[in-house]
DNA sequence: TTGATTTTCTATCACTTGATACAAATCAGT
DNA sequence: ACTGATTTGTATCAAGTGATAGAAAATCAA
């Protein structure tokens, strides 16, 4: 509710799709590759600052300065702050999808068969869960996972629109597998809740990372320590899915 | 970095403890009970708006308007926005402590004994975990749990200072119990990670609440549904702590 | 009531934010 | 080189932010 001028001098903003979606008309016509560079710089700077400071505190000026371009470039290429944020989310999501998509597809395909053993189902769950865990525990492209975590916390438009697209799939796959392992209908509360927890644990790795590291006296989750983390997490998941000894209660 | 004036006309702000701590000098000297009312209104409005909008987006003006008082009242009673936020956190924390403190104390006392059975240890864990779960799943004072979740996401000063005070205790107790159940040293990665997950699951209930409810087709966690949730969560915890069948793999 | 103190309110400050207008610079195709 | 489009930069806008000054009102102790 900040930039709603009562009477904009020109009608350009309102004539261009509410002023925030799709403002770049440069990639449409071919050529003019020069701008693509600054566009990229803006994306990277955006991801970094949004991740570090959150949506509100990351000012467009700081982002532009960080990218080494002028402020209006941001409006020009992304139509505004929200547009940039959205683009950042899509950029990350695209990368995540390209890295996790194949595995997910393979799992979904394998799930077609109805004669899978418990061990096989667990293996499929692991195949879809483990890359995620690695991506969130590690901080290789620190800002990416952080950006992810931010978007989750703030209820931006980017969340519902983008995160859902990948979170839902992951959850749906988890539900399918858990349902079959436990031998319960996919719609049953038990299956849903447990699946949400399994998927949620992954994001928890990111959120609780500093606390975990501090408590353990570690500095990161790399190499052997990452293996340990994965092992413990996985052991927890499998045993929580075991038909094993009735919980003492 | 917004209100750092180069040369403040008066030195009051800097003469009053950096300007954000303890600005209310009304409760010190007795009497003048009139103000306590607006102070309370500001706290409630603060909790509500901070919870709904987050720290940044909740403007002092909106809070004051919501509380039905004028803007400077906020400065007067809490020294500023940050002071109010801190006060809100303390206010909630105080209530949480009063509701969970006794049980926690009882558990800590019971842990003195070293001859506790697995079942007894589990019971203690449950005693300290369950009230938390209820508080986060329910939305009686919707804003409270939401405020809690917000503070967790944004890295406000309130987080480190306040949340730690209660989160650390809970985590420490969980570690102690898990360590004894698993028969591993408290400092071992397995114990730490598993404990963090147990505690983290509780906050996850809040964060993933809308997703879980939507997936289940429920509207809230009340009555029987709350029972189901608690049951499933608890079953997951116990079986993840079971010495049971070695995880397949 | 008086007088000191606490509490509230109006107006305003200094500053930041996101967004624009518009001219200058750059580029591609001829 | 010329032309038309794209891209960048300067200066500026309007709105909104948290905070303050300072007078007016309300409150309590005497």
Contacting residues for B24 by C-beta, under 8 A, at least 6 apart: B39, B76, B77, B78, B79
User: How confident is the prediction for chain B on average, in pLDDT?
Assistant: 82
Cβ–Cβ of B248/A119 closer than 8 Å? yes
Closest CA to B76 of B46, B35, B30, B128: B35
pLDDT at res. B139: 64
pLDDT at res. B89: 92
Q: Residue A31: pLDDT band by 50, 70, 90 thresholds?
A: low
Q: How many residues does chain B have?
A: 249
Task: Determine if strand D comes within 7 Å of the CB of B152.
Answer: no
Q: Residue B178: pLDDT band by 50, 70, 90 thresholds?
A: very high
Q: Which two tokens stand for residue A103?
A: 């595995």
User: How confident is the prediction for chain A on average, in pLDDT?
Assistant: 82
Q: What is the CATH code for B16-25+33-78?
A: 1.10.10.60
pLDDT at res. B32: 61
Chain B CB within 8 Å of residue A189 CB: yes
Q: Of B56, B171, B247, which is closest to A235 when you measure between CB atoms? A: B247
Nearest C-alpha of chain A: how many angstroms from B69? 23
Set of chain B residues whose Cβ sits within 8 Å of the Cβ of A234:
247, 249
Q: Residue A162: pLDDT band by 50, 70, 90 thresholds?
A: confident
Quick one: fold of B88-240? Answer: Tetracycline Repressor; domain 2 (1.10.357)
pLDDT at res. B233: 95
Distance B30 CA to C2 C1' (A): 21
- Rounded Cα–Cα distance for residues B221 and B230 (Å): 10
* Site of tokens 């969130």: A136
Between A201 and B244, residue with greater pLDDT:
A201
pLDDT at res. B244: 54
pLDDT at res. B33: 66
Per-residue pLDDT of B117-163, as tens digits, reads 999 999 999 999 998 888 877 766 667 778 887 887 777 777 777 77
Closest CA to A178 of A106, A116, A246: A116
Set of chain A residues whose Cβ sits within 8 Å of the Cβ of B247:
234-235, 238-239
**Nearest nt to B7, CA vs C1'?**
C14
Contacting residues for A30 by C-beta, under 8 A, at least 6 apart: none
Listed by start position, the domains of chain A span 86-240
In eight-state DSSP terms, residue B159 is: I
Q: Mutate one of B208, B225, B231 to test the A interface: name it (highest A CB count within 10 A).
A: B208
Closest CA to B133 of B232, B241, B242, B240: B232
Residues 81-100 of B with CB under 7 A from strand D: 81-82
Task: Determine if strand C comes within 7 Å of the CB of A32.
Answer: yes
Nucleotides of D under 7 A from a protein CB: 5-12, 14-22, 26-29
Chain A CB within 8 Å of residue B219 CB: no
- Rounded Cα–Cα distance for residues A230 and A167 (Å): 20
Q: Residue B164: pLDDT band by 50, 70, 90 thresholds?
A: confident
Cβ–Cβ of A54/B239 closer than 8 Å? no
Q: Number of CB pairs < 8 Å for A and B? A: 138
Chain A CB within 8 Å of residue B220 CB: no
* Site of tokens 């996972």: A145
Per-residue pLDDT of B54-90, as tens digits, reads 999 999 999 999 999 999 999 999 999 999 999 999 9
Cβ–Cβ of B200/A201 closer than 8 Å? yes
> Percent of chain A at pLDDT above 90?
55
Cβ–Cβ of B234/A216 closer than 8 Å? no
Query: Among all residues of chain B, which has the CA nearest to that of A164?
Result: B211
Q: How many residues does chain A have?
A: 249
Contacting residues for A129 by C-beta, under 8 A, at least 6 apart: A174, A198, A199, A202, A234, A237
What is the secondary structure of chain A as a DSSP string?
A: --S--SS-SSSTTGGGTTTTS----TTTSS--THHHHHHHHHHHHHHHHHHHHHHHHS-HHHHHHHHTS-HHHHHHHHSSHHHHHHHHHHHHHHHHHHHHHHHHHHHHHHTT-S---HHHHHHHHHHHHHHHHHHHH--TTHHHHHHHHHHHHS--HHIIIIIHHHHHHHHHHHHHHHHHHHTS-TTSHHHHHHHHHHHHHHHHHHHTHHHHHHHHT-S---HHHHHHHHHHHHHHHHHHT---SPPP-
Cβ–Cβ of B233/A54 closer than 8 Å? no
B64 touches B70 (CB < 8 A): yes
Task: Determine if strand D comes within 7 Å of the CB of B61.
Answer: yes
Q: Which two tokens stand for residue A68?
A: 């080494």
CATH of A86-240, one of 2.60.120.200, 1.10.287.130, 1.10.357.10, 3.50.50.60: 1.10.357.10
Q: Is the pLDDT of residue A249 over 90?
A: no
- Rounded Cα–Cα distance for residues A168 and A166 (Å): 5
Chain B CB within 8 Å of residue A1 CB: no
**Nearest nt to A59, CA vs C1'?**
C17
Contacting residues for B112 by C-beta, under 8 A, at least 6 apart: none
Region A32-61 average pLDDT: 89
Gyration radius of chain A's alpha carbons: 22
Task: Determine if strand D comes within 7 Å of the CB of B7.
Answer: no
Between A24 and A97, residue with greater pLDDT:
A97
Which chain B residues in 113-152 lie under 8 Å from chain A, judged by CB atoms? 118-119, 122, 150, 152
Closest CA to A154 of A90, A85, A80: A85
Task: Determine if strand C comes within 7 Å of the CB of A58.
Answer: yes
Cβ–Cβ of B193/A233 closer than 8 Å? yes
Q: Is the pLDDT of residue A139 over 80?
A: no
Nearest C-alpha of chain A: how many angstroms from B27? 35
B93 touches B165 (CB < 8 A): yes
Torsion of CA A154, A159, A164, A167, to 10 degrees: -50
Task: Determine if strand D comes within 7 Å of the CB of A113.
Answer: no
Q: Residue A142: pLDDT band by 50, 70, 90 thresholds?
A: low
Q: Residue B36: pLDDT band by 50, 70, 90 thresholds?
A: confident
Set of chain A residues whose Cβ sits within 8 Å of the Cβ of B122:
248
- Rounded Cα–Cα distance for residues A123 and A97 (Å): 20
Region A141-167 average pLDDT: 76
* Site of tokens 């096989």: A120
Set of chain B residues whose Cβ sits within 8 Å of the Cβ of A208:
196, 200
Residue B108, number of CB atoms within 10 A of its CB: 15
């Amino acid at each position: 509710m900040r930039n709603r001028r009562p009477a904009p001098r020109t009608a350009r903003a309102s004539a261009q799709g509410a002023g925030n979606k799709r403002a770049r008309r440069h990639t449409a016509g071919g050529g003019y590759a020069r701008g693509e560079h600054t566009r990229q710089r803006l994306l990277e700077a955006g991801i970094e600052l949004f991740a570090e400071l959150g949506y509100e505190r990351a000012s467009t000026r700081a982002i532009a300065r960080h990218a080494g371009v002028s402020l209006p470039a941001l409006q020009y290429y992304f139509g505004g702050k929200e547009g940039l944020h959205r683009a950042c989310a899509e950029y990350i999501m695209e990368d995540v999808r390209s890295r996790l998509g194949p595995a997910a597809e393979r799992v979904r395909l394998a799930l077609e068969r109805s004669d899978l053993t418990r061990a096989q189902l667990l293996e499929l769950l692991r195949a879809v869960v483990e890359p995620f865990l690695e991506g969130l525990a590690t901080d290789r492209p620190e800002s990416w996972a952080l950006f992810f975590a931010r978007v989750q916390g703030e209820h931006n438009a980017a969340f519902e629109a983008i995160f859902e697209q990948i979170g839902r799939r992951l959850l749906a796959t988890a539900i399918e597998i858990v349902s079959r392992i436990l031998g319960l209908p996919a719609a049953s509360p038990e299956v849903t809740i447990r699946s949400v927890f399994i998927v949620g644990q992954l994001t928890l790795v990111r959120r609780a990372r500093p606390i975990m590291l501090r408590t353990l006296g570690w500095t990161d989750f790399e190499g052997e320590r990452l293996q340990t983390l994965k092992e413990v997490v996985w052991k927890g998941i499998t045993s929580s899915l075991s038909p094993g000894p009735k919980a003492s209660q």
